Amino acid sequence: MTNEKELLLRQLEEQRFLPVTKVTEALYKKYALLVDFSDPDDISRLLFYEGEYYYRSGNITKALRSLSRCIQAPKSSDLKRLEAKAHNLTGLIYYYLGQEALAKSNFLDYLKMAQDHHFTSDVSIAYTNLGLLHASLEDYETALDYETKSLENQKEQDDFHYNATLISLTHQGIYQSMLGNFTEGASLCSKARQYCIEGQSLIYEVPFLSLQLMTAFYQKDWETYQKTTERILDLVSLEGSFLALSRYFFDICDFFIDNERKQEARALLDRMQSDIVSLPLVFLRYNIRKHEVYYADKFCSDLEYMENAQKLIDLIPSYEKEQYLAKSYSLDYVERVHHARNLSKKYSEESKRDPMTGLLNKYTLWFLIDEYINTRPQNTVCAALLIDIDHLKQINDTIGHLAGDRIITETAAVIREVFSENTFSGRIGGDEFLVFVQSADDHAAMFLQAELLRQQIFNRLSVSNPAAAATASIGIAFTSDTVKNCDMLFAAANSALAEAKSESVNRVAAAKQ
């Protein structure tokens, strides 16, 4: 990895806990220009940071797409932590959307990966997020159990994590207060305060302020209560911070309304309304509208209540559409991840290459092709060449598998020589290879290059294995308005290969467009 890439990755990591700004977007776009799109590890990193940026800026559909692709990507073992974090972010998205089952599934995947690979701090985060999920369903006892596990996990760590301890103590204090155990909540607030540090991230400060607000209110410490309220209102207005903290702000709003703090509730609602305008998320507007109805029911006239209720009703179709799209995407997401896991049992994720030839294995090749087709520049035509060694089984049966293995490795060597740039090449079966060409606007030139490949294979194999006289047949297909993805492109190339072998062998045929 280049020094420039390493520097950008450090900067992206630092941005993860800061409010989203134009700097955040500029950094990942700059990183994208340096990515090697033939390296799944590079793509995995880009997809993770893209997904996180989209999530934090409110583009849920793009976030889910990038994160699911990051999870599916074949990657080196040192990137398993990135995959685990992608599960966590996916869980958070479904948590915000109110799709608890999918959220929990991803949080549990995150927890298992963290435990399996001994990512101790991630284990604590997974327990905390599972606790938050149950707390959102008002199951505070289970939420407390998860936070207890988080704290116990932190004690087992060799290094001490201020913020992990702070968040666990804070959440325990909030859950105890929600259960009416205000004395215990106040005690936990005092313990958590010891771990507060100046300039800490908002993801730690806002939860603590929420607990401190409740504690000050029940202790009638009005000076602390006032200062805490003012600080919370300031943070709501901080650009780029609302989505990740919205769960706390909504809970604080509920607290104000429950305890008839009309002025504070109105100020918080107004500021949240202002923040939500910039985010393209209906579920946030829906939640705000529900709180406006609750506020109007508590403090306003019947007419104002009815007006707010009608606005909530008017929003239901858009809200249901957003939920439907997210659920529809989630079905595709689950299927893709399940498919990727099944493939990974057959094609090692630890090695992205076929051990005999050094070319990409099928799983890695499929991922790279699918990713490129989905993200290619508009109107770019791609091509796939499906290469089959003629009569390899007969050669293996007559002169032996060692000769057959030499034919396979020699064929791979020729493919590397003829297609060295802007291509992905892999072995996808015993005697089959696939070459994907990223830009192939000139169909005639592509056909000629395929003919060159066929001739070179014949020449090489005739010299190295004269007794075998091996040849290869090739099918070519191009992307088009009707051939839009990896599976369709492969099917078209396979059809062309069948045509090439139908009359004789050692031929090239192109799929009919």
pLDDT value at residue 350: 45
Compute the average pLDDT of residues 54-60: 83
- The continuous run of DSSP H or E covering 49 comes out as helix 40-57
Q: Give burial (CB, 10 Å; 0-12/13-18/19+) of 6.
A: exposed
* Confidence band of 334 (pLDDT split at 50, 70, 90): low
| Per-residue pLDDT tens digits for 336-349 | 666 655 555 444 44
Residues 74/37, Cβ–Cβ less than 8 Å = no
* Residue showing tokens 């520097």: 7
∠ CA 153-157-159, nearest 5°, is 140
> Buried b vs exposed e over 344-379: b needs ≥16 C-beta within 10 Å?
eeebebeebebeebebbbbbbbbbbbbbbbeeeeee
Average pLDDT in the chain: 87
406 forms beta bridges with none
Residues 433/427, Cβ–Cβ less than 8 Å = yes
Compute the average pLDDT of residues 186-191: 96
Cα–Cα distance list, 395 to 390, 401, 460, 474 (Å): 9, 8, 16, 19
Mind listing the domains of the chain with CATH numbers? Answer: 119-236 (1.25.40.10), 245-318 (no CATH), 362-510 (3.30.70.270)
pLDDT value at residue 341: 57
* Confidence band of 467 (pLDDT split at 50, 70, 90): low
- Of 99-103, 240-244, 505-509, minimum mean pLDDT range: 240-244
Helices 242-258 and 282-299 pack at an angle, to 10 degrees, of: 10
Rank 51-65, 193-207, 212-226, 342-356 by mean pLDDT and report only the highest.
Answer: 212-226
Rank 64-73, 125-134, 395-404 by mean pLDDT and report only the highest.
Answer: 125-134
**In sequence order, what DSSP letters do the residues of 196-248 get, joined into one string?**
--TT--HHHHHHHHHHHHHHHHHTT-HHHHHHHHHHHHHHHTSTT-HHHHHHH
Q: Give burial (CB, 10 Å; 0-12/13-18/19+) of 174.
A: buried
Question: Which tops the pLDDT comparison, 4 or 1?
Answer: 4
What are residue 388's phi and psi, to 5 degrees?
-125, 125
Best CA proximity match to 272, nearest among 309, 302, 292, 242: 242
| Per-residue pLDDT tens digits for 146-165 | 999 998 888 765 455 558 88
92: its two tokens: 């958070």
387 forms beta bridges with 433, 474
The DSSP code for 440 is: -
Q: At a CB cut-off of 8 Å and minimum separation 6, what does 30 contact?
A: 8
> Buried b vs exposed e over 474-511: b needs ≥16 C-beta within 10 Å?
bbbbbbeeebeebeebbebbbbbbebbbeeeebbbbbb
504: its two tokens: 């004789």
Q: Is the pTM of this model over 0.85?
A: no
pLDDT value at residue 349: 44
pLDDT value at residue 426: 94
Q: How many CB atoms lie within 10 A of CB 320?
A: 12
d(CA 143, CA 154): 17
pLDDT value at residue 162: 52
What are residue 36's phi and psi, to 5 degrees?
-90, 105
> Buried b vs exposed e over 17-45: b needs ≥16 C-beta within 10 Å?
eebbeeebeebbeebeeeeebbbbbbbbb
pLDDT value at residue 190: 96
Best CA proximity match to 365, nearest among 490, 252, 509: 490
Is residue 108's pLDDT more than 70?
yes
- The continuous run of DSSP H or E covering 453 comes out as helix 443-464
Cα–Cα distance list, 94 to 64, 97, 359 (Å): 9, 5, 38
